[in-house]
A and B are shown apart, each in its own frame.
Chain A
């Protein structure tokens, strides 16, 4: 019980507070901007055609009513929480009457698939390659690998992504230019293989960037571990190198990176805006970007809610699970 009251409960309460404050701030910020969804909608319509002024004004009134934006800020806020508790995020204003849950649902699968996979791959690759390079730090291949990573790492992500796009869609036209798959969703090999094919290039861009970052971190950590007394002693004791590498060096190198992995996975819900735009890939990053630009409050709220819950939950889980990875963490 002591564990629950003194360790778990305060963290769960903190989790609730973070979500409540985050959502409240996100509710207020777009409403404080001079832009609003009704004027955005009218602006889009009248940008394409001239509509007579009386009809424009009547549309404005009708949209205010339809979007449920009448009432004071507090009334809107109360209605918002009422809906959230029922699992209803309301309709999108830009894509009225499409429900926000449906818009998020459509984009989220792609984002989780792409980012989840590529983050995990880059985490494992960066950790293992970095640790190997740190352990065998005098080997020529390790120096070559480090040189390559240090060259790639400072390249801004959007430049790297654009280079990959031009290289593999124009000069060597191996991959598609836009989209997430061929045809409409179906549980067939044809469709699943097309998902892998369409997602390869965007995933590669994330893996390269992510691996480089984690390689540098892991190598630095592994280099420190290698010089530790316990590793030196294990070496002198003729413990097999494989065992030293995996059970001594990599395990210790991995510890700080678990926090990074959990937080990065939690941030998946924000989407990968640059990846989606450069590669024309579906996902919630572009949906959020568009929603911010058009003051689509409900979509902003929906995605932000997911993002806040995702990151807060990831932090909570890391906090709760850290003692399992690091025996040195103990509740006193």
Chain B
């Protein structure tokens, strides 16, 4: 009896998985569509509001919907820094005193239900957002009520904004990198009673793609190309149909994305860590990133990474000698190669040395950096800048057997600070620090010099950078603790000032080099003391977390207001501000963003590459739609 019973259970254990496996194809996609018509995009997070397409509410950011469905007047390409006309037919035109902005609109566009797009839609959108605080997306309600006196159509395809006060940057509300004011279909929204709870099912869109199916749990969303795709801005601009279907799907961590790509269930993803990217190259021979070979990753996203100080949390950071000592005890070549894999650009300025920004900031300031001198505190003037850093990284790359695809400065960024622990020691000693018998540093109060770095491990490069600093500062004799915190806990600590050194990212200028719209929130008038949440002040959170009350910042930022955006005069003012931050080492900027945007050419070709940099490959940004629309099925 017992043998029969045991046999039965064993049989059950074997049969159940077998039956289930046989009953199903070994295929894990949530939709059954021919692969030659389906492009699969890594959805960068799960949708919190599946099935709600009213993007004008304050429901938060969406991973891809904003780019696939919606349109605004202009785009800024992060690769070139150039403006791309979206719904607008040309650049914005201001009157002489910047109190009026006129826009001509494209005349050949329609909504996905066939209704023509006209100036009425733009006027309706602005007036509706101004009158409806419940539509809280990105603060557009407040911005319009602050700046706009009235908006009027001056023709079927032209509008004029009358502004409350001179504003030479008003157009940036409609000029998108991540998002910009999305235009509403007047003929739909004017029939809605309650805008805040309207979910906009069966959305009517100006973009090329219409959502047709979704997972109620937010894991995936399916889009279908409009029949009349030629009537959408991306259709007009690329003159290419693009894939018929797009599936965005949330896979989670890098390992699962790499597995999905190897199974042919994912066409493009980011942001793998170096090891997951290498695994993808090994398991998916048709996969690649921006460069076909080393250093692979896309280097021109408009953000930098840095170590920032909590000036109130650790008063020792008030001393510029301490800040410089910390910078000079970092070995940037080792940080960039051993910890980051040699795949990011180095920058000493708080600006990323991208294709578009390096000629505006880094090149003109190179001579100033080379000649920069700091006082080591003992009367010695010292040149901290080492312009050969990119060459040293290139030499490392060649030792590894890699070929560097360009000049070291093009590929690895600019110079950085010398790794000079003797100079760093001189700085600390002049600031009153002493060495204990074991070589560890003691503060002027005679206490061991301790530092705590907080960093979120899911932000790969930031966390690796934090690991590098932990090792290097420990070797220098500082007692360093690294806390890897879950993103929300890290944000929360930063916002209320519970940290000493942080590793945030930063955007110091728009991609065309106009910095004031980004720097406005850096102004010390938005300072909030430790213990209160910096968001209560309204400033840029990653800057205001530092609790730096430097009146000079306010003077520099205010001086930029009346200057013509993009003018040489404006750029000079911006450079002076960044020089001030740099020579006072108010934050230690290290590298710019790199993104392992990884795609598989098995089913689709035509994604932008270093050899064919048609558009930026950052597909999750609003302008990413152009890269997707440019795709062609593989032969």
Q: Is A bound to B?
A: yes
Interface check B403, CB cutoff 8 A: no
- Shortest distance between the CB of A271 and any CB in chain B (Å): 12
B23 lies within 8 A of A53 (CB): no
B57 lies within 8 A of A97 (CB): yes
Contact partner of B486 (CB less than 8 A), chosen from A141, A198, A293, is A293
Interface check A132, CB cutoff 8 A: yes
In the complex, A294→B60 CA distance in Å? 12
Residue of A nearest to B133 (CB): A62
Interface check B489, CB cutoff 8 A: yes
A49 lies within 8 A of B178 (CB): yes
Instruction: Decide: A179 near B215, CB < 8 A? Known: A173-B26, A193-B24, A196-B20.
Output: yes
- Shortest distance between the CB of A109 and any CB in chain B (Å): 10
| List of B residues within 8 angstroms of A92 by Cβ | 48
A50 lies within 8 A of B9 (CB): no
B9 lies within 8 A of A97 (CB): no
Instruction: Decide: A52 near B143, CB < 8 A? Known: A175-B26, A242-B1.
Output: yes
In the complex, A166→B249 CA distance in Å? 19
| List of A residues within 8 angstroms of B250 by Cβ | 178, 280
Residue of B nearest to A36 (CB): B533
Interface check B262, CB cutoff 8 A: yes
| List of B residues within 8 angstroms of A49 by Cβ | 138, 177-179
- Shortest distance between the CB of B200 and any CB in chain A (Å): 13
B178 lies within 8 A of A62 (CB): no
B263 lies within 8 A of A177 (CB): yes
In the complex, A282→B217 CA distance in Å? 6
B538 lies within 8 A of A57 (CB): yes
**9-residue interface stretch from A76-84, A182-190, A324-332:** A182-190
Interface check B134, CB cutoff 8 A: yes
Interface string of A159-183 (1 = CB under 8 A from B): 0000001100110011111111111
**CB within 8 Å: A-B pair count:** 219
| List of A residues within 8 angstroms of B197 by Cβ | 97
Instruction: Decide: A56 near B535, CB < 8 A? Known: A48-B178, A179-B220.
Output: yes
| List of A residues within 8 angstroms of B2 by Cβ | 132, 135-136, 139, 241, 245
B9 lies within 8 A of A125 (CB): yes
Chain B stretch 435-460: residues in CB contact (< 8 A) with chain A? none
| List of A residues within 8 angstroms of B24 by Cβ | 193-194, 197
Contact partner of B141 (CB less than 8 A), chosen from A58, A185, A282, is A58
Interface check B29, CB cutoff 8 A: yes
Interface check B400, CB cutoff 8 A: no
B536 lies within 8 A of A60 (CB): yes
In the complex, A92→B29 CA distance in Å? 29
B31 lies within 8 A of A183 (CB): yes
Instruction: Decide: A173 near B9, CB < 8 A? Known: A107-B217, A178-B250.
Output: no
In the complex, A205→B126 CA distance in Å? 53
Interface string of B173-204 (1 = CB under 8 A from A): 00001110000000000000000110000000
| List of B residues within 8 angstroms of A125 by Cβ | 9
B533 lies within 8 A of A58 (CB): no
Instruction: Decide: A43 near B20, CB < 8 A? Known: A54-B146, A177-B263.
Output: no
B535 lies within 8 A of A43 (CB): yes
B17 lies within 8 A of A177 (CB): no
- Shortest distance between the CB of A303 and any CB in chain B (Å): 15
Chain A stretch 47-78: residues in CB contact (< 8 A) with chain B? 47-60, 62-63, 66
- Shortest distance between the CB of A110 and any CB in chain B (Å): 7
| List of A residues within 8 angstroms of B252 by Cβ | 178, 277, 280
In the complex, A52→B1 CA distance in Å? 78
Interface check A106, CB cutoff 8 A: yes
| List of A residues within 8 angstroms of B496 by Cβ | 34
Interface check A14, CB cutoff 8 A: no
Interface check B567, CB cutoff 8 A: no
Interface check A204, CB cutoff 8 A: yes
B134 lies within 8 A of A56 (CB): no
Residue of B nearest to A110 (CB): B217
Residue of A nearest to B177 (CB): A49
A53 lies within 8 A of B219 (CB): no
Chain B stretch 44-73: residues in CB contact (< 8 A) with chain A? 48-49, 52, 57-61
A177 lies within 8 A of B536 (CB): no
In the complex, A106→B216 CA distance in Å? 7
A59 lies within 8 A of B142 (CB): yes
In the complex, A84→B28 CA distance in Å? 40
A293 lies within 8 A of B31 (CB): no
Contact partner of B28 (CB less than 8 A), chosen from A52, A175, A245, is A175
Interface string of A185-217 (1 = CB under 8 A from B): 100000001101110100010000000000000
- Shortest distance between the CB of B551 and any CB in chain A (Å): 17
In the complex, A197→B1 CA distance in Å? 33
Residue of B nearest to A106 (CB): B216
In the complex, A196→B49 CA distance in Å? 26
**9-residue interface stretch from B320-328, B516-524, B624-632:** B516-524
Interface check A16, CB cutoff 8 A: no
Residue of B nearest to A55 (CB): B139
Interface check B260, CB cutoff 8 A: yes
Chain B stretch 107-122: residues in CB contact (< 8 A) with chain A? none
In the complex, A50→B515 CA distance in Å? 11
Residue of B nearest to A294 (CB): B488
- Shortest distance between the CB of A240 and any CB in chain B (Å): 8
- Shortest distance between the CB of A157 and any CB in chain B (Å): 17
Residue of A nearest to B505 (CB): A47
| List of A residues within 8 angstroms of B536 by Cβ | 39, 60
A170 lies within 8 A of B139 (CB): no
Residue of B nearest to A242 (CB): B1
Interface string of A133-152 (1 = CB under 8 A from B): 00110010100000000000
A132 lies within 8 A of B507 (CB): no
| List of A residues within 8 angstroms of B196 by Cβ | 66, 97
A53 lies within 8 A of B61 (CB): no
Interface check B232, CB cutoff 8 A: no
B491 lies within 8 A of A52 (CB): no
A98 lies within 8 A of B142 (CB): no
B49 lies within 8 A of A182 (CB): no
B59 lies within 8 A of A96 (CB): yes
Residue of A nearest to B257 (CB): A177
Interface check B164, CB cutoff 8 A: no
B48 lies within 8 A of A95 (CB): yes
Chain B stretch 129-178: residues in CB contact (< 8 A) with chain A? 133-134, 136, 138-143, 146, 177-178
B538 lies within 8 A of A54 (CB): yes
Contact partner of B61 (CB less than 8 A), chosen from A48, A132, A184, A200, is A48
3 shortest interchain CB distances as A-B pairs: A55-B139, A176-B28, A53-B538
Q: Which residues of A are at the interface with B, using a C-beta cutoff of 8 A?
A: 34-35, 39-60, 62-63, 66, 92, 94-98, 106-107, 110, 125, 128-129, 132, 135-136, 139, 141, 165-166, 169-170, 173-185, 193-194, 196-198, 200, 204, 241-242, 245, 277, 280, 282, 293-294
A sample of 5 cross-chain residue pairs with beta-carbon separation below 8 angstroms, ordered by A number, consists of A56-B535, A136-B2, A178-B251, A182-B30, A280-B219
With A34-B496, A40-B488, A56-B535 given, name 18 new contacts (CB 8 A).
A39-B495, A44-B61, A46-B540, A52-B146, A60-B535, A62-B58, A96-B59, A128-B9, A132-B2, A170-B259, A173-B26, A177-B251, A177-B259, A178-B219, A178-B249, A179-B30, A194-B24, A293-B486
